[in-house]
């Protein structure tokens, strides 16, 4: 039988966590703008060993920053993150190939993922905490045009192959004064099982006013069309063909045209701030364990400035591990990621939106309780 969460005490702060990691010595206080919380990377110098994780390609830039920050203070630690996509990341975590996973979609028990993860974790509910919040940019390649306004219904018709040229009246009506060419539209989708696809199709399904007839899914639901693997593959495919349109993590969308989506009566461009606003008005998934912070994103919000085409990318781990060294490494690295220092590193180097304070505090308490069996 699967046991529900038993580790519910919130760690009072990163300083207490740092002492638990090192076993001795005092943590260095940070008296900057983050309220005096301690940077966990600077407190775990006694850690050593190798830690393997992987999954969401959207996290790749942030993971590079997180690994660099954590390993600089823990030179005897080697962390690898294989950006194989959210679906493969979850699978490799469940098979124990990864000690932790990054996923742009929370575990879905309709597909048996929650149960499988709990079994992998010795019967305990798996940990899921948001770590990386980012806008999903809808990117296009039309020479001479840098930005367009599109609503969800029009986007759904474009990606479903029902609007096929860029000068279609539905696009023109939303872009007064833009000289739209008659170029054929070439939608590009992810070829891998992708959390970005899951979030994007969730937006089309919930906000598309019935124009998107497919269920949200990490696997693209329409046969045919151009496909690309991973975030970098998507960006390269859109750059490589005139008239193309696709979707990718906003931090990697440089050099392409960007779509502003309709929110209420205004059009909002993709940004970390807009994604954070949309997440702030979203709600937790019902019926989850205390260690599971899965969120239902409000795709139809009319909040001014909110950008509802976003992903909240999660870290997935176990509450306890058989091996004490593995437990210490997972606890130390994940604690650094959700700390003020880690979130700021992702903001500066990957364009992510830092976790809101109450979410960050709860996440720190959850990962701070990771231990050996």
Q: How many domains does the chain have?
A: 2
Q: How confident is the model at residue 26 (pLDDT cuts 50, 70, 90)?
A: very low
Q: Which residues contact 108 (CB under 8 A, 6 or more apart)?
A: 114
Report residue 251's pLDDT band, with 50, 70 and 90 as the boundaries.
confident
Average pLDDT across the chain, whole number: 89
Tell whether the model's pLDDT for residue 264 goes beyond 90. Answer: yes
* pTM score over 0.85: no
Residues 151 and 260 in one domain: yes
Q: Tell me, what's the pLDDT at 273?
A: 93
Strand 257-263 versus strand 266-268 pairing type: antiparallel
Q: Answer whether residue 7 shows pLDDT above 80.
A: no
Q: How far apart are CA 337 and CA 367, in angstroms?
A: 10
33, pLDDT greater than 70: no
pLDDT, position 169: 98
Beta bridge partners of 80: 52
Phi then psi for residue 175, to 5 deg, are: -135, 60
- Does any domain span residue 155? yes
Q: Average of pLDDT values for 30-38?
A: 37
Contacts of residue 209, Cβ cutoff 8 Å, sequence gap at least 6: 152, 153, 156
Confidence at 24, pLDDT banded by 50, 70, 90: very low
Question: 161 and 70 in one domain?
Answer: no
Is residue 205 situated within a structural domain? Answer: yes
Per-residue exposure over 237-276, b if at least 16 CB sit within 10 Å of its own CB, e if not: bbeeeebbbbbbbbbbbeebbbbbbbbeeebbebbbebbb
Q: Are residues 148 and 252 in the same domain?
A: yes
- Distance (Å) of CA 132 to CA 39, 56, 97, 135: 18, 10, 22, 10
Domain that holds residue 67: 14-133+283-296+311-372
315-364 per-position pLDDT tens digit: 999 999 999 999 999 999 999 999 999 999 999 999 999 998 889 999 99
Same structural domain, 21 and 144: no
Q: pLDDT above 70 covers what percent of the chain?
A: 88
One domain, residues 22 and 86 = yes
Tell me if 9 is assigned to some domain: no
pLDDT reported for residue 1 = 34
Same structural domain, 290 and 358: yes
The answer to whether the beta carbons of residues 14 and 39 sit under 8 Å apart is yes
Residue 5 — very low, low, confident or very high, per pLDDT cuts 50/70/90? very low
CB 136 within 8 A of CB 249: yes
**Which of 16-30, 166-180, 267-281 bottoms out in mean pLDDT, i.e. has the lowest?**
16-30
Mean pLDDT across 133-143: 97
For the cut 60, the answer to whether the pLDDT of residue 29 exceeds it is no
255: tokens are 């050099």
9: pLDDT confidence band, cut at 50, 70 and 90?
A: very low
Q: Are residues 270 and 143 in the same domain?
A: yes
Residues 195 and 117 in one domain: no
**Cα separation of 147 and 178, whole Å?**
10
* pLDDT over 50 at 27, yes or no: no
| Cα distance between residue 231 and residue 213, in whole Å | 25
pLDDT confidence of residue 322 = 97
What's the pLDDT band for 110 if we cut at 50, 70, 90?
Answer: confident
- pLDDT, one tens digit per residue, over 71-94 is 999 999 999 999 999 999 999 999
Asked if residue 301 belongs to a domain, the reply is no
CATH number at residue 168: 3.40.190.10
Is the Cα torsion angle 8, 12, 17, 23 positive or negative in sign? Answer: negative
pLDDT of residue 87: 92
Same domain for 233 and 326, yes or no, is no
Per-residue confidence band for 21, with pLDDT thresholds at 50, 70 and 90: very low
Q: Is residue 123 part of a domain?
A: yes
In this prediction, residues 56-82 reach a mean pLDDT of 96
Residue 43 in any domain: the answer is: yes
- Residue 202's CB is within 10 A of a number of other CB atoms, namely 21
Residue 26 lies in a domain: yes
Has residue 68 got a pLDDT over 90? yes
Residues 24 and 109 in one domain: yes
Pair (258, 290) in one structural domain? no
Q: Which residues pair with 53 in a beta bridge?
A: 81, 100
Answer whether residue 303 is part of any domain: no
Q: 246 and 331 share a domain?
A: no
């Amino acid at each position: 039988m699967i046991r529900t969460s038993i580790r519910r005490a919130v760690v009072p702060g990163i300083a207490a966590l740092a002492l638990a990691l090192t076993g001795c010595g005092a943590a260095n206080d940070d008296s900057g703008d983050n309220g005096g919380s301690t940077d966990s990377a600077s407190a775990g110098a006694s850690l050593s060993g190798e830690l393997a994780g992987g999954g969401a390609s959207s996290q790749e830039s942030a993971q590079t920053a997180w690994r660099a920050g954590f390993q600089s203070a823990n030179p005897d630690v080697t962390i690898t993150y294989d950006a194989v996509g959210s679906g493969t990341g979850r699978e490799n975590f469940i098979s124990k190939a990864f000690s932790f996973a990054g996923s742009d979609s929370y575990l879905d028990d309709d597909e048996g993922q929650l149960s499988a993860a709990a079994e992998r974790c010795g019967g305990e509910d798996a940990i899921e905490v948001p770590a990386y919040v980012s806008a999903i940019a809808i990117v296009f390649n039309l020479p001479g045009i840098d930005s367009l306004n599109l609503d969800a219904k029009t986007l759904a018709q474009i990606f479903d192959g029902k609007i096929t040229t860029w000068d279609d009246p539905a696009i023109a009506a939303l872009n007064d004064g833009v000289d739209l060419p008659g170029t054929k539209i070439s939608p590009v989708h992810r070829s891998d099982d992708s959390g970005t696809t899951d979030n994007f199709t969730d937006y089309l399904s919930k906000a598309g006013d019935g124009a998107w007839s497919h269920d949200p899914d990490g696997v693209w639901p329409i046969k045919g069309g151009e496909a690309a693997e991973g975030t970098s593959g998507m960006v390269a495919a859109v750059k490589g063909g005139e008239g193309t349109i696709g979707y990718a993590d906003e931090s990697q969308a440089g050099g392409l045209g960007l779509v502003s989506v309709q929110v209420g009566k205004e059009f909002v461009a993709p940004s970390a701030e807009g994604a954070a606003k949309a997440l702030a008005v979203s709600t937790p998934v019902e019926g989850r364990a205390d260690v599971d912070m899965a969120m239902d994103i409000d795709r139809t919000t009319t909040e001014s400035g909110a950008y509802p085409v976003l992903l909240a990318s999660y870290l997935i781990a176990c509450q306890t591990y058989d091996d004490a060294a593995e437990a210490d490494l997972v606890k130390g690295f994940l604690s650094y990621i959700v700390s003020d220092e880690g979130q700021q590193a992702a903001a500066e180097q990957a364009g992510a939106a830092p976790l809101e304070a109450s979410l960050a505090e709860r996440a720190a308490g959850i990962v701070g309780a990771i231990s050996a069996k």
